[in-house]
Chains A and B, each alone.
Chain A
Amino acid sequence: MSQAFRLPVGGRIRRDEPLEFTFNGRTLSGFAGDTLASALLANGCRVVGRSFKYHRPRGIMAAGAEEPNAIVQVGRGQHAEPNLKATQVELQAGLEARSVRGWPSVNFDLGRINDRLGGVLAAGFYYKTFMSSAGSWHRSERFIRRAAGLGWAPTGSDPDRYESRNAHCDVLVVGAGPAGLSAARSAALAGARVLLVDDQPELGGALLACRDTIDRMPAKDWLAAQAAFLEAQPRVRVLRRCTAFGYHDHNFLSLVQHDLTDHAVVQRLWRVRAKQVVLAQGAFERSLVFPNNDLPGVMLASAVSTYIRRYAVRPGCQLVVFTNNDSGYQAAIDWLEAGGQVEAIVDCRDDVRGDLPRTAQSMGARILTGTVVAGARGRSGLRSVEVAPAAGSGVARQKLQCDVLAMSGGWNPAVHLHSQSGGRNQWQPEPACFTPGNPVQAAVSAGACNGVFGLRECLAQGHQAGQEAARRWGFEPAFDEASEAPAMQSGALMPLWRVPEMRGRLAASKQFIDYQNDTTLSDLRLALREGFEHIEHIKRYTALGFGTDQGKMGNINGMALVAEGLGKTIPEVGTTTFRPPFTPVRFGACAGGDVGDLYEPVRKTPLHEWQVENGAPFEVVGQWLRAHYYPHEGEDLETAVCRECLATRASVGIMDASTLGKIDVSGPDAETFLERLYTHDIARMSVGRCAYGVMLGEDGMVMDDGVMARLGPERFYVTTTTGGAANVLSWMELWLQTEWPDLQVRLTSLTETWSTIALAGPNSRQVLRAMGCDVDLEPEAFPFMTTRTARLENEPVRLFRISFSGELAYEINVRSDRADFMWRRAMAAGAAFGITPYGTETMHVLRAEKGFIIVGQDTDGSVTPVDLGMNWMMSKSKDYIGRRSLARPDCVRPGRKQWVGFRSLDDRTVVREGSQLVQGDTLEPPVPLLGHVSSSYFSACLGYPIALGLLNDGKRRHGEELLAVDAGGGRTRVRVVAPVFYDPEGERQHA
C-alpha cells in the first residue's frame, strides 16, 4: 500500500474495493470511487504531463471538466481513447493510462528546451515562421505536430458499441448539486415528468465535498435522502455519468451517458426534447495569474477541498492559500482538519471578516491580508512562494515554504448551456463574473451557474426554479418548503486579474492564463501590441480558450487582461462564443448504431436471393443492391460481360429491372398533368401505347427519363430512373400541390409493389410462349412500344414491349411476392434457348451500343434534349416545363456541347470515362477542352471499343480526329462518330 497521501479515514471512496492500475507503465493502487486524478494524487504523482508548447512539468490543478493539465491516453490499440482528463476518468481495475506528452518521460522531457526559447515561441510564432516561405510548413509540420500534439488516435476502427435514445420530459434538470436536486424535487412534487442528469457517478455535485448542514442534518445525509426520494418517484428519471453537452433550438438538448452498467453499450446519446429546462451546472473556480503559476502543486482551492473531503487525499504537507474571496479559506479549513500544516492564507483584500475566514483563524491559520503571491518557485514542483504587498499595505516581501498552493480567484458560473441556447450573458461587477441574462428558450438558471454561491441561496433558488418550471407547464406546485442551510456571512470578492509586477527573476517568469495552450500574459500583451483588438481574433492568435478544456479555467482571466490592455471594461470586450460540445464527445457516440452495415438502409429486390445463389457481385445504385454481372467459373468482369452481351444479342438475356421507379398517375387531369411535365405529346398516346419521355427542369435541362404507358383514359404508368424515383415523385407532388392545385390527379408509388423482369434478345418471344403467355405475341398484334395485361405461368402480369438494348424485348411486371417464382420459371422456360442472366454492366454496354443515355452519367444538369439529339420527341403544339428556357439565347447558340460517339483509332483502347477531348498532340497550355467522354466500353458484339460523350458543336464534327486525355495522363486518338453504333435503323427492336 503505497498511497502515501491517502488520509486514514473519510472520503466517499470504497476502501473495501482496492483497484490496481498503471500510469506511464507504473503499477499503482487506488480505490473504487476514485478518479484517475485522485488516485494519482494519493500515490504522490505530482508531475502528470508536460505542457503543450514549452514542455513544462504540469500537475493536477482541478477536480473536474476544467482540468487543463492532466491529459491522458487511456487504453491501447483499438480501445485507446486519447485526451481524457484524469479528473473525469473513473478509476477501474486494470486501467492503463499514459501522459500524452513528455519524451523520453514526463519527469525528464528534452522538449523543455522550448521553455528557454520562450521569447521566440511567443504567440504567432508558427504563422510568422512557416507561412512566410512557401513549403517550409509542409517540411516541418510532421516534427512540430509530434512535439506539440495531444494524444494518439486509436488504431483500427472503434470496437465499442453505442446507441442513441430519444426522450421527452416536462422538466429537464441539468446538474444534481444543491440547486439541481432542489429543483428536481419541487418539480417532481408538482407532478411533472422530470429528467435529472449529472456528469458524476453519484449525485450531489458540490455537496459531495460539503461540510455544512442542510435541514439540520449533515449535507451527506440530506443528499442521501434526496437521492432516495428521487429514485422512488415513478415520473422521475435520473441519469448519472451523463453530460448535457449541447443546447439546441426549441429546447432540444444532447446528452451523452458514459460507462453504462450492462457494458454491451459503452456510451449512449440522449436526444431530449424538454418542455422546460432548469440549468444548475454550478460554477468553475478561477485561477490566479502570477509568475510560475503552473508549477505542479499549484491547485484550485475548491479542488484541494474536493480531494480531501470526497477522495480522502491530502495532496501535500504544507499549504499556502492565495485568494481574493472567502471561499478560498475552505481549503485551509479542510487541510487543517485533515492534519496538514497551513503556512499562511494570502488574501489580497485588506478587509477580511466573513464566517469562513473567522473559522480558519480560530483553527490557528495565519492570515496575511493585503498581500499577494508574487511568484512561485520550484523546478519540477512547487517548493515555495514569494509573497509581497498587494498595494501599499500587506506584509513585507518574503518567502514561504509550501508544497501546495490553493488558489481562488473567484468563480465563473457555467453559462455554457445558457449561451448555447442563444442567451446573452451579463457582467456582474459583484462578484465579478458573467451570469446568464434573460433566457431565450423555456429555461431558467439556478444556483451557482446563475451567480448565486451560498448553499442556502442555491437551495432556495433551485426549489423555486423547479416549481416555476412545473407551473409554466401547467402543474400546480405542492406546498413544500425549500430545504434550509444555515445563513453564512461572507465578505465581498476583490477582483484580481494579475499580481503587481515585481522586480527580479520572477519578472521574467511566465504567467499562465490558459495552461493547456501555454498562453501567457506576455502572449496576450504581444497580441495587443500587434494590433489585435477583438477577443475572437485574440483567441485565434494566442490560442486562448482552445483545447479540450475550452478555456473553462482561464478564459475570463484572459478577457479581463485584454480589457485592461485595451483600456476597456470587461463587458465591452465580452466573451468568445460558447459552442457545443461542453466537453469533448466521442464520434462513436454521435454516430450511435448507424455504423457498418447499419450506416445506410439497403434496398434489395425480390430477386435478390436468386442473384446471391448465382454468385452475382452487387453494385450499389441509389440504395439498391443490383446484380453487377453473373460470372461463370474463372470469369472476370470483362469476360463475363462479353459473354452476356453476345448471348443476349444472339438469343435471349434476362435482367432484373425491378429498381426502376414506377408511379401510377391517375385522375381526370392525369393527361393534362403529364403534358406539362414531359416533352412529348401525351394526348397522342392511345390506351395501351408506351412512349419514351423526358422531363426537364425549369431551366430546360434534362432531369429524368423513362418509359410511360397509358393504361386507360385517365390512368398512366410512369417509370423513372432507379436513382431518380423519389425525386420525380416529389417533383410531381410539388407542382401538383403548389402551382396546379386545380388539377385532379393522384400519384402512387408502385416501385416496390411491382417487380420487373426484362427479357431481351431475338428469342424473347419464344420464352414468353414457353411460359404459356395467353396473349397474341405476333408483331402485328403486340407491336413495339405497347403494353398488354396477360397471364404467364397462370399468374397475372403486365407485359411491356419496350427495349433498352435495341433487341426484341419485353418487360414483365409481376407482383413482387411472385417475382422470384416468375424469374425461376423464365429461367426454366428459357433453358432451351440458352437464356443468359445479365447484370447492370451488360445493360450499360447494350444501351451504349444503341446510343441511349443514362441520366446522371451522360448528363449533368447542363444538357438540353436538343443537345442529345432528341428534337423528335419535343412537342411543338403544347407548353411544358422547361420549354421556354430552351429558347433562351444560351440554349440556342451554336457550338453547344452535343451528344456524339467516339471510336478509338487503334480499335483496341477503351478510353477512360471522364477523359477530356482536345485537339492536336502538343498539349501546350492553354489547352482548350472541347468536351468529355461520359460512357466507354468494349463492345463484344461489334468487336471494338465504343465511347459516348458531349463535344462542342459535336453534330458537325463527325469524322474529325481528336485526342482523349484521361486524368492519369493516358492519351488515346479517337474519331468522332454518330452516337448509335448498333442497328442504327432500329430493325431488331421492331422484329
Chain B
Amino acid sequence: MKQIRCPLNGLRNIDEFVYGGEYHPVTETADTDSRQWARQVFFHRNPAGLVIEWWCHAPSSYWFLAERDTRSNEMLRTFTLEAFLAMKDAAQ
C-alpha cells in the first residue's frame, strides 16, 4: 500500500485519501462560448508525465495538491493550496 505525505497530517496510507482529479481551476466565465466551456467541463489533459492533482485526506476532509508522474505512478511532492499558488506566482 502506497503512502502519501499529507501537508496537514503527514505520511499516511493511501486508503485514507480520495483522488480529486487534475488541478483544473475554473478559468472560463459564464459568457465563454459553448465549445470552450465544454472543454473546461468535460476535458482534462491526462498527460503521460508530470501532473498536478487534487487529493483529499478523507478522515480530516482536507484538500491539497500533489505532483505525480503518471508514467511511474510516483508522487513526487505534495503542497497546500497556498504554497502551490505562491509557487505559481513566483514562477510567473
Contacts and interface: CB of A to CB of B under 8 A. Distances in A.
B54 A738 contact: yes
A675 to B, nearest CB: 14
A246 to B, nearest CB: 10
Contact of B1 (A248, A733, A884): A248
Contacts of B34: 887-889
B63 interface: yes
Given A248-B1, A249-B2, A734 B41 contact: no
B37 A733 contact: no
A252 B38 CA distance: 41
B41 A699 contact: yes
Contact of B26 (A250, A730, A733, A739): A739
Interface string B29-70: 010101001100110000000000010101001110000000
Contacts of B1: 248-250, 252, 271, 273
B45 to A, nearest CB: 17
A215 interface: no
Interface in B51-92: 54, 56, 58, 61-63, 81-82
Contacts of B30: 879, 883-884
Nearest to A699: B41
Given A249-B1, A271-B1, A739-B26, A734 B38 contact: no
Interface in A73-102: none
A361 to B, nearest CB: 54
Interface string A716-756: 00000000000001100110011101000000000000000
B56 A730 contact: yes
A738 B82 CA distance: 10
Contacts of A879: 30
A889 B33 CA distance: 11
A885 interface: yes
Interface in A202-259: 248-250, 252
A271 B3 CA distance: 14
A54 B20 CA distance: 53
Contacts of B37: 884-885, 888
A374 B78 CA distance: 63
A860 interface: no
Nearest to A736: B63
A741 B81 contact: yes
A741 B81 CA distance: 9
Contact of A699 (B20, B26, B42, B61): B42
A889 B30 CA distance: 14
Contacts of B42: 699
Contacts of B10: none
B80 to A, nearest CB: 10
B41 A733 contact: no
A896 to B, nearest CB: 16
Contacts of A699: 41-42
B41 A698 contact: yes
B63 A737 contact: yes
Contacts of A730: 18, 56, 58, 61
A884 B18 CA distance: 27
Contacts of B63: 733-734, 737-738
Contacts of B2: 248-250, 252
Contacts of B18: 730
A729 B60 CA distance: 12
Nearest to B85: A741
Contacts of A273: 1
Contacts of B41: 698-699, 885
B38 A250 contact: no
Given A883-B30, A888-B34, A250 B3 contact: yes
A319 B62 CA distance: 69
Contacts of B82: 741
A741 B82 CA distance: 9
Interface in A893-932: none
A641 B3 CA distance: 51
Contacts of B26: 739
B15 to A, nearest CB: 11
A739 B30 CA distance: 16
B62 A739 contact: no
A885 B56 CA distance: 26
A759 to B, nearest CB: 34
A675 B58 CA distance: 25
Nearest to B82: A741
B62 A737 contact: yes
B85 to A, nearest CB: 9
Nearest to B29: A884
A737 B81 contact: yes
Contacts of B81: 737-738, 741
Nearest to B61: A733
A596 B27 CA distance: 49
B75 to A, nearest CB: 10
A737 B25 CA distance: 12
A55 B18 CA distance: 51
A822 B50 CA distance: 57
Contacts of B54: 734, 738
B38 A888 contact: yes
A737 B55 CA distance: 11
A787 B63 CA distance: 34
Contacts of A252: 1-2
Contacts of A734: 20, 54, 56, 63
B26 to A, nearest CB: 6
A739 B61 contact: no
A260 B20 CA distance: 42
A883 B18 CA distance: 27
A157 B56 CA distance: 38
Contacts of A888: 34, 37-38
A734 B26 CA distance: 13
A54 B34 CA distance: 66
Contacts of A733: 56, 61, 63
A885 B26 CA distance: 13
Contacts of A889: 34
A883 B34 CA distance: 12
Interface string A676-717: 000000000000000000000011000000000000000000
Nearest to B62: A737
A729 B24 CA distance: 20
A286 to B, nearest CB: 33
28 contacts: A248-B1, A248-B2, A250-B1, A250-B3, A252-B2, A271-B1, A273-B1, A730-B56, A730-B58, A733-B63, A734-B20, A734-B54, A734-B56, A734-B63, A737-B62, A737-B63, A737-B81, A738-B20, A738-B54, A739-B25, A741-B81, A741-B82, A885-B37, A885-B41, A888-B34, A888-B37, A888-B38, A889-B34
Which 9 residue pairs are nearest across A and B when measured between Cβ atoms? A737-B63, A249-B2, A252-B1, A884-B30, A733-B61, A250-B3, A698-B41, A250-B2, A888-B34
Given A248-B1, A734-B54, A741-B82, 16 more contacts: A249-B1, A250-B1, A699-B42, A729-B61, A730-B56, A730-B61, A733-B63, A738-B54, A738-B63, A738-B81, A739-B25, A741-B81, A884-B30, A884-B32, A885-B41, A888-B34
